[in-house]
Amino acid sequence: MAISFVENAVARRGLMLVISSPSGAGKSTIARLLLEDREMDLSLSVSVTTRQRRPSEIEGVHYHFESVREFERLRDSDALIEWAEVHSNYYGTLRETAENALADGRDMLFDIDWQGAEQLQAKMPADVVSIFILPPTMKELQMRLNRRAEDTAEVIETRLNNARFEIQKWSKYDYIVINEDLNQSYAAVKSIVMAERLRRDRRPGLFEFVNGLLEEQPS
């Protein structure tokens, strides 16, 4: 399913792939598959957060873990292109990361909540492609949160309570994927990215390509 060499050579704007979901629906799992898939060539926008680091997380890879004071400094100096309070912690996207990627024509993945998605969509409507991941059932959502076993019982309880509210934000997104079977969901997400990369208005290089085609003299 790779994009051909000629296709790839046509100059294109980078896209901002925003993936959100209620906690536990599988967004991070799908995001990780996308980032590991060399064919997709996506890089993660590493957010700043005031949340405690989970045992499996690495500073600078999954998040930049900062104090509330430092977060507020970044926010107040306009270094964050969007930010939100989620489950009683602050999260935000560094402006520099997002703007550099777009300028270089690179595609970035944003694992952010609906509040962040809304802010990016308002600021960069032409560049954002948004996907919302839903769980197949609430029971399965609860099981997944428990199975992940990286949060305390209290944190899981808060996240489950917030899930009902977050799910209602589904209609703000371009695409909705119900994550029942992981392989099928991943294939769906991959197809969305592939199709969005081929959108005419994201490919200014097509003018030059088509002019070249028309100038070609078939022998």
- Whose Cβ is closer to ligand 5GP: residue 114's or residue 186's? 114
Q: Which two tokens stand for residue 8?
A: 């790839």
| CB neighbour class for 90 (10 Å; exposed up to 12, middle 13-18, buried from 19) | buried
Does 179 contact ligand ADP by CB under 6 A? yes
Give the count of beta carbons closer than 10 Å to the beta carbon of residue 211: 10
Pick the binder of ligand ADP from 12, 13, 16, 24 (CB under 6 A): 24
Give φ, ψ of 142 to 5 degrees: -65, -40
Tell me which residues in 160-219 interact with ligand 5GP (CB under 6 A): none
Does 87 contact ligand ADP by CB under 6 A? no
Stretch near ligand ADP under the rule CB under 6 A, chosen from 21-29, 58-66, 164-172, 195-203:
21-29
Pick the binder of ligand 5GP from 13, 15, 74, 93 (CB under 6 A): 93
Residue 190 annotated as part of some ligand binding site:
no
- Residue 29 near which of ligand 5GP, ligand ADP, none (CB within 5-8 Å, type-dependent): ligand ADP
Q: What is the dihedral of CA 109, 115, 118, 121, to 10 degrees?
A: -30
Residue 116 annotated as part of some ligand binding site:
no
Q: What angle do CA 180, 1, 178 make, to 5 degrees?
A: 15
- Residue 182 near which of ligand 5GP, ligand ADP, none (CB within 5-8 Å, type-dependent): ligand ADP
| CB neighbour class for 145 (10 Å; exposed up to 12, middle 13-18, buried from 19) | buried
CA distance 116 to 21: 12
- Whose Cβ is closer to ligand ADP: residue 47's or residue 185's? 185
Cα–Cα nearest to 133, from 15, 19, 18: 19
**Quick check: 193 and 42 in contact, CB under 8 A?**
yes
Does 147 contact ligand ADP by CB under 6 A? yes
Does 21 contact ligand ADP by CB under 6 A? yes
Q: Can you give the binding site for ligand ADP, defined by CB under 6 A?
A: 21, 23-29, 144, 147-148, 179, 181-182, 185
Binding-site residues from annotation: 21-28
Q: Can you give the binding site for ligand 5GP, defined by CB under 6 A?
A: 20, 23, 47, 51, 82, 84, 86-87, 91-93, 111-113, 115-116
Binding-site residues from annotation for ATP: 21-28
